[in-house]
Amino acid sequence: MTDSSQNSLIQRLPKAELHLHIEGSFEPELMMQLAARNRIDLRFKTLDEAKAAYNFSNLQEFLDLYYEGMQVLRTEEDFHDLTWAYLQRAAQDNVRHVEMFFDPQAHTERGVPFGVVTEGILAALARGEKELGVTSYLILSFLRHLSEDDGFALLKESEGWHDRFVGVGLDSSEMGHPPLKFERLYKRCREMGFKLCMHAGEEGPPAYVREALIEIGVDRIDHGNRSMEDPALIQILKDTQTPLTNCPLSNLSLCVINDLKDSPVKAQLEAGLLVTVNSDDPAYFGGYIARNYEKTAEALGLSDAQLITLAHNSFTASFLPEAGKQKHLAAIDAAVA
């Protein structure tokens, strides 16, 4: 199949995005607009200056810039505009459902109230469903470089909104902050009925994925690349069909892999794992979801059937109720018929 007909298949496939940090969809154009609106000085004066800085050799270098950029987000309107811009862009790629991470501690720490952040995002999500037909769930993400007590404080601060989150996540600097640092917090979140997600095995060793999966009992592993170093772990992931939310262009930008040809996506598909393709922080890593599918397909020589499986997996791995999953799976079948 030619690249262009495969790209049109990718475009046509209804997709779910399961690994997306809303603050990582902050395009420099919008960042500069909001900086001006809020009268905040940004280190970058031009788009070219901003884009020149988007050159990372590891996760921490990216995170430093990611936290810097989000400082210009101050008002409910800012969070709405950020989220609305993402939803419109995702809809262009035929994303029909998104499960979105947000990092409240990165905002409350600098004095922006939890309610301002959350209400702004929720307003845009409601608008996305109404105007674009894109459904969404919000996932409250804890910053793992902070303490477990800080996580408990966030859980308390967010009490008035708990029914608005489908689950919790764990992101930020992975090395030195293993899943078990948050064992009590995750136990509490499980008791409260939240779905459990965790970034694991992006930079961290397979042992971190094991902790997340076996000791914490997460529902989904974000990234999980380094699971592939541990054959027994691969078998567990296969047997339990625990979803992995892979992010190929992110992996390439953060030097988790040196070349897209080294992406584990094809090997994971062939091993029978429930792998999905996602964009992570698309404004920083050079592409939204369709481009992640396209570049991965091109580098790995994915077949059309494998692309269709990835779209299927995106809904199967979602937190949608069974009937919702079936509706989207049928729409994929109709789109490729």
Q: Which residues are catalytic?
A: 202
**Which residues, 6+ apart, have CB-to-CB distance to 293 below 8 Å?**
10, 13, 15, 277, 307, 310
| Phi, psi (degrees; rounded to nearest 5) at 177 | -125, 70
CB nearer ligand ADE, residue 251 or residue 314: 251
Tell me if 41 sits within 8 A of 35, measured CB to CB.
Answer: yes
CB nearer ligand ADE, residue 250 or residue 268: 250
Q: Show the binding pattern over residues 229-268: x = contacts Zn ion (CB under 5 A), - = does not.
A: ----------------------------------------
Minimum CB separation from Zn ion for residue 169, in Å?
8
Of 107, 280, 291, 312, the residue at the interface with Zn ion (CB under 5 A) is: 280
Minimum CB separation from ligand ADE for residue 21, in Å?
4
Span near Zn ion by CB under 5 A; candidates 59-67, 69-77, 175-183, 272-280: 272-280
CB nearer ligand ADE, residue 279 or residue 313: 279
59 binds, among ligand ADE, Zn ion, none (CB under 5 to 8 A by kind): ligand ADE
CB nearer ligand ADE, residue 81 or residue 103: 103
Which positions touch ligand ADE (CB under 6 A)? 21, 24, 59, 66, 171-172, 199, 202, 250, 280-281
Span near Zn ion by CB under 5 A; candidates 34-42, 69-77, 204-212, 276-284: 276-284
User: What is the sign, positive or negative, of the torsion defined by CA atoms of 126, 128, 134, 137?
Assistant: negative
CB nearer ligand ADE, residue 172 or residue 314: 172
Minimum CB separation from ligand ADE for residue 331, in Å?
29
Tell me if 266 sits within 8 A of 229, measured CB to CB.
Answer: no
* Distance from C-alpha of 266 to C-alpha of 252, rounded to nearest angstrom: 15
Amino acid at 223: H
**Number of residues forming the site for Zn ion (CB under 5 A):** 1
Tell me if 280 sits within 8 A of 250, measured CB to CB.
Answer: yes
202 binds, among Zn ion, ligand ADE, none (CB under 5 to 8 A by kind): ligand ADE
CB nearer Zn ion, residue 24 or residue 120: 24
The number of helices, as runs of H, and strands, as runs of E, in the chain is: 17, 8
Minimum CB separation from Zn ion for residue 117, in Å?
18
Minimum CB separation from Zn ion for residue 47, in Å?
24
* Distance from C-alpha of 101 to C-alpha of 40, rounded to nearest angstrom: 25
* C-alpha neighbours within 13 Å on the C-beta side of residue 316: 16
Tell me if 276 sits within 8 A of 18, measured CB to CB.
Answer: yes
Which one, of 298, 293, 296, lies nearest residue 312 by Cα? 293
**SS3 for 73?**
coil
Strands of 145-213, DSSP E = 165-171, 195-200
Minimum CB separation from ligand ADE for residue 82, in Å?
14
The residues of the shown chain that bind Zn ion, judged by CB under 5 A, are: 280
